[in-house]
């Protein structure tokens, strides 16, 4: 069986809470057909339990307002109390179109409030934008070192990541080519460059005479990282 490319890993994860079974299944299917991994719950208490114990990087939380046991207004502050998810975009999706309810949701920290019924295309575009902005910010905040061929060789990069016990990745940009090294607790797991992997990918990247290099803690999201690097290289500090 062929090894899965790093560039195919780490789809975005969305947590969805709605006490109506039909609504929940519809949202889950819509998100999964759009390429997201959807974690769905019929009540917010189960969602809180999931967030407390999961090792998944949740990129967006979507919840109804009116729910039994714990409603959306109670669920949101519970999420904000969790350091891991305090900055994760939280979006309300509700049939309630009341000005005070909507204002209260924004004041509590929701990034958006969408009323049902939804326009599927607009809804997905909004989700895409929120997640991209969130993951872009995460990358910016989690870069621990930038360099180039002039001050950081590929071998030095690997040594640095080992010493830092990095849980994350190194992204290497050379013209139109990209190389990725992933690390777990400082141990090099995978190397990817174009269609090459591991030793072949390492030799390809090592042969580059010029490159930019970014060492980042956290999860590797290919499209977002590429966009970040393109923007960064176009407007260097």
**148 and 105 in a common domain:** no
Q: What is the CATH number of the domain that holds 49?
A: 3.40.50.2300
Asked, for residue 130, whether it belongs to a domain, the answer is no
**Taking the CB of residue 126, how many other CB atoms lie within 10 A of it?**
16
Looking at 118, 134, 160, which one is the last position of a domain?
118
CA–CA gap between residue 8 and residue 5 (Å, rounded): 5
For residue 30, how many C-alpha atoms fall within 13 Å in the half-sphere facing its CB? 19
In the sheet with 112-115, reading across from the earlier edge strand, the strands are 37-41, 13-17, 58-63, 90-94, 112-115
Per-residue pLDDT of the chain (237 residues; tens, 9 = 90+): 344 545 445 678 999 999 999 999 999 999 999 989 999 999 999 999 999 999 888 999 999 999 988 999 999 999 999 998 999 999 999 999 999 999 999 999 999 999 999 999 999 999 999 998 998 898 999 999 999 999 999 999 999 999 999 999 999 999 889 999 999 999 999 999 988 999 999 999 999 999 999 999 998 888 888 888 888 777 655
The number of domains in the chain is 2
Task: Say if residue 36 is in the same domain as residue 107.
Answer: yes
pLDDT computed for residue 7 by the predictor: 46
Residue 127 included in any domain: no
In a domain, 154, yes or no: yes
* 4 within some domain: no
Give the sign of the dihedral formed by CA 167, CA 142, CA 213, CA 195.
positive
The reply to whether 59 and 98 lie within a common domain is yes
Which residue, 118, 153, 187, sits at the end of a domain? Answer: 118
Q: What is the separation, in whole angstroms, between the first and last Cα of the chain? A: 44
Is residue 158 located within the same domain as residue 75? no
Position 57 scores a pLDDT of: 85
Give the Cβ contact number of residue 93 at 10 Å: 21
**Range of 212's domain?**
143-234
Q: Does residue 7 fall inside a structural domain?
A: no
**Is residue 136 in a domain?**
no
Are 33 and 97 part of one and the same domain?
yes
Per the domain annotation, does 224 fall within a domain? Answer: yes
Residues 26 and 104 in one domain: yes
pLDDT at residue 9 in the model: 55
- Sequence-separated contacts (24+) of 190-198 with Cβ below 8 Å: 190/6, 192/5, 192/6, 192/7, 197/3, 197/5
Query: Is residue 112 located within the same domain as residue 168?
Result: no
**Do 174 and 229 lie in a common domain?**
yes
Residue 237: per-residue pLDDT: 52
Question: Are residues 169 and 98 both part of a single domain?
Answer: no
Q: Is residue 6 part of a domain?
A: no
Nearest 10 degrees: Cα torsion 117, 119, 125, 126: -30
pLDDT of residue 107: 92
Instruction: State residue 2's pLDDT score.
Output: 45
């Amino acid at each position: 069986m062929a090894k899965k490319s790093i560039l195919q890993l780490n789809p975005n994860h969305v947590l969805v809470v709605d006490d109506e079974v039909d609504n929940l299944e519809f949202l889950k299917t819509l998100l999964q057909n759009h390429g997201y991994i959807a974690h769905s719950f019929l009540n917010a208490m189960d969602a809180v339990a999931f967030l407390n114990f999961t090792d998944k990087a949740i990129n967006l939380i979507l919840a109804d307002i009116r729910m039994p046991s714990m409603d959306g207004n109670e669920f949101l502050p519970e999420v904000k109390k969790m350091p891991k998810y305090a900055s994760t975009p939280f979006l309300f999706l509700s049939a309630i179109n009341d000005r005070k309810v909507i204002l209260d949701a924004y004041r509590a920290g929701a990034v958006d409030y969408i009323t049902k019924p939804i326009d599927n295309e607009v809804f997905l575009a909004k989700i895409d934008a929120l997640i991209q902005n969130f993951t872009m910010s995460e990358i910016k905040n989690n870069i621990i070192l930038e360099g180039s061929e002039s001050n950081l060789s590929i071998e030095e990069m690997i040594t640095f990541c080992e010493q830092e016990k990095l849980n994350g990745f190194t992204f290497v940009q050379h013209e139109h080519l990209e190389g990725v090294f992933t690390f777990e607790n400082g141990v090099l797991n995978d190397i990817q460059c174009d269609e090459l992997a591991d030793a072949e990918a390492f030799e390809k990247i090592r042969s580059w005479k010029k490159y930019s290099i970014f060492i980042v803690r956290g999860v590797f999201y290919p499209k977002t990282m590429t966009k970040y690097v393109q923007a960064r290289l176009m407007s260097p500090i």
